[in-house]
Amino acid sequence: MTADATTPASSTTPALSAATLEAAARIMADCDRLAAISALEDGIERTYLTPEHAAHNQVAAELMTAAGMRTWQDAAGNQRGRLEGSRPGLPALVLASHLDTVPDAGRYDGILGVLLAIETVARLKDRASELPVALEVVAFADEEGTRFGATPLGARALAGTWEQDWFALEDEDGITMAEAFTRFGLDPARIGDAALGADEVAGYLEVHIEQGPYLEAADRPLGVVTSIAGARRFTLTVLGEARHAGGAPYDRRRDALIGASRAVLDIEQIARERGAIATVGRPQAYPGGVNVVPGHVEMSLDLRAETDEPRDAVLEETLGTIRGFCTERGLTLEVEQIHEASAVRAHRTSWTPSAPGSARSAMVPAAMMRRSSCSPAPDTTRWPWRPSPTSACSSSAAPTGSATTPTNP
């Protein structure tokens, strides 16, 4: 995600009230409580439709109830709570983030946003009769896509853009998402019940930790998101020939790992020079013997930028460079795209500074603003503020952001 540095950092920090300090202490204690819910003994992992998912929903429901909300688990497994405004049935300002994690996660990614949302409602519940909107907190069940690969499932269900073929996806144990739904007590046929209509939403606000160093380095407390990076993900396979190390002279080798290693360097260099962000992960050489020249190497590539055009230009230049080197070494490069999400610019009028050090913001989640490029064209009568569909075709949906620039609105 990117943000504008629109207001200089304040030279003085306002004193915090006792109530605010108490709320902060509660939030941090609840972060620790949720961190204890994990599939790992020595780390944090909570994934979709698992016992840990059920446990974190239970904690969130308890906190929402204590904050004065009516609570329920929706058809996608999101935990939701609602505080009515000045009259029942008003459109809702949705306050949301996620409770699932990546493997070996930190304790604040997503969780902090959910707990801040709940605390906000608790602060406002005694003034609910004055509110022109309802407040609805959503603890998304899946944002990371750790178990089934597709992402962000919770927000896509809320946005009404769920793809039915996701139910056939399997986890590493061969369990399909449809089977996991049933085991969790959900009905795949009712997934559409999780969706909010356009007339039910007044706006969206999400607080999230910065996943970069900029705000901390600038000693600034807050950034306002102005865009969500567009990302494409690939599996790259370099094919050569596996041969016994001792009997394979250098001029006869077609070492796939040499090609893959050069590719990693080219990927970083080109992305840095062109202003994109590229990451290679999950490299695996086969057959993997200590005395065998690698015959093929598989690795992932995550490529993202603030807008789609420079990202795609970087991709073409990078693949061309890698293929050129592979050809010189008698290697072959295979490329499989596994994910694409278009970049989204936040509306420039979506926040207005109301006083030094404060801001109002009404933004919609990434999954509500964009779609998988292979999914049906969005229904703009349902979500009229969605951008027009793109013509590229790939698979599922939407990660969160890229680098962040500091701001202190």
Average pLDDT, the chain: 84
Which pLDDT band holds residue 13 (cuts at 50, 70, 90)?
Answer: low
pLDDT of 119 > 90? The answer is yes
pLDDT of 84 > 90? The answer is yes
Mean pLDDT of 67-86: 98
Which pLDDT band holds residue 211 (cuts at 50, 70, 90)?
Answer: confident
Mean pLDDT of 111-125: 97
The pairs formed by 199-203 with CB atoms below 8 angstroms and a separation of 24 or more are 199/91, 200/91, 200/92, 201/91, 201/92, 201/94, 201/364, 202/90, 202/91, 202/92, 202/93, 202/133, 202/134, 202/362, 203/93, 203/94, 203/133, 203/362, 203/363, 203/364
For residue 348, the model assigns a pLDDT of 57
Among 122-126, 202-206, 311-315, 344-348, which is the least confidently predicted range?
344-348
User: What whole-number distance in Å separates Cα of residue 95 and Cα of residue 390?
Assistant: 28
pLDDT of 350 > 70? The answer is no
Which pLDDT band holds residue 30 (cuts at 50, 70, 90)?
Answer: very high
Which pLDDT band holds residue 25 (cuts at 50, 70, 90)?
Answer: very high
User: What whole-number distance in Å separates Cα of residue 364 and Cα of residue 228?
Assistant: 11
Percent of the chain with pLDDT strictly greater than 90: 73
Bigger pLDDT: 336 vs 345: 336
Bigger pLDDT: 353 vs 175: 175
For residue 382, the model assigns a pLDDT of 31
378 CB-near residues (< 8 Å, 6+ apart): 161, 371, 386, 389
The DSSP call for residue 408 is: -
Q: Is 177 helix (H, G, I), strand (E, B) or coil?
A: helix
For residue 210, the model assigns a pLDDT of 86
Mean pLDDT of 159-167: 96
pLDDT of 367 > 70? The answer is no
Query: Do the beta carbons of residue 65 and residue 71 sit within 8 Å?
Result: yes
